[in-house]
Chain A
Amino acid sequence: MATLAELPLSWRVFLRAYRWRRIDPVPWTPLRKPLADCRVALVSSAGFVAPGQAPFDERGRGGDVSFREIPADTDVHTLVDTHRSEVFDHRGMRADPNLTFPIDRLRELAARRRIGAVNHRHLSFMGGITAPGRLVQRTAPEAAQWLAADGVDVALLVPV
């Protein structure tokens, strides 16, 4: 289990007073068909971008709420770590981006028909969003519209 104790002191102090955004009521979509018939997309907050895409911007107050489209056929080892946060250890995901953006694992699940299909694109956010107002009001609904339009049945979300 990750613990607050592994974070820098400044973050521990900040988080002690932080008012987490409570989801209430909790929206719920049941699985409507077997996973073997479902189209699945990944959403990661590891701050990865595909080659040539603009990096995430850590400088803005409250965090960068934008997201990037990662084509599903991207070679996971070409993803670029643009998450500037020093709060976590980047070495693992730089050595193996599947650790936070498991593109290869999802392909393997589809190959053995545990899931029906991999969506043609995944979405990449950068966590560290301390002021999630614009995320909730604007970019998260936009991201959901994209995936709903793609016919995605299931999304797997991975924080870092």
Chain B
Amino acid sequence: MCTQAVGLVAAELERQGIATVCLALLRMVAERVRPPRALCVPFPHGYPLGAPGDAVQQHAVLEAALRLLEDPGAVPPVLVDYRE
């Protein structure tokens, strides 16, 4: 449900001129809802950035998300799996 909610908010942000990237916890949901750019993370619900207190891992996930924004050849909807 959260993956759907952030995807729908992202769509509205994009309509109003803000580039977005979503993290997604369930690939199946991201495939159906189709947020503009989503990074599918390999973590359980409640842990979208990985492990609590692990700033290095959290930055690695965020960096992967930021790179989706920087791909000039991206075709929407973008759905990429995060690889550790």
- Measured CB to CB, the residues of A under 8 A from B are 1-4, 6-7, 20-24, 26-32, 35, 43, 45-46, 63, 87-93, 95-96, 98-100, 102, 104-106, 108-109, 114-115, 125, 127-130, 132, 135-136, 140-141, 143-145, 147-148, 152-160
- Measured CB to CB, the residues of B under 8 A from A are 1-29, 32-36, 40-53, 55, 58-59, 62-63, 65-66, 69-70, 72, 76-77
A54 CB to closest chain B CB, in angstroms?
Answer: 19
When C-beta atoms are compared, the residue in chain B nearest to A25 turns out to be B76
Nearest first, the 7 closest Cβ-Cβ pairs linking A and B are A127-B2, A159-B2, A96-B52, A88-B45, A88-B46, A157-B6, A27-B14
Q: Which residues of B contact A63 (CB under 8 A)?
A: 1, 5
- Known A92-B52, A157-B20: A23·B5 in contact at CB below 8 Å: no
CA distance A46 to B82 in the complex (A): 21
Instruction: Judge whether B18 and A90 touch: CB under 8 Å.
Output: no
CA distance A63 to B1 in the complex (A): 10
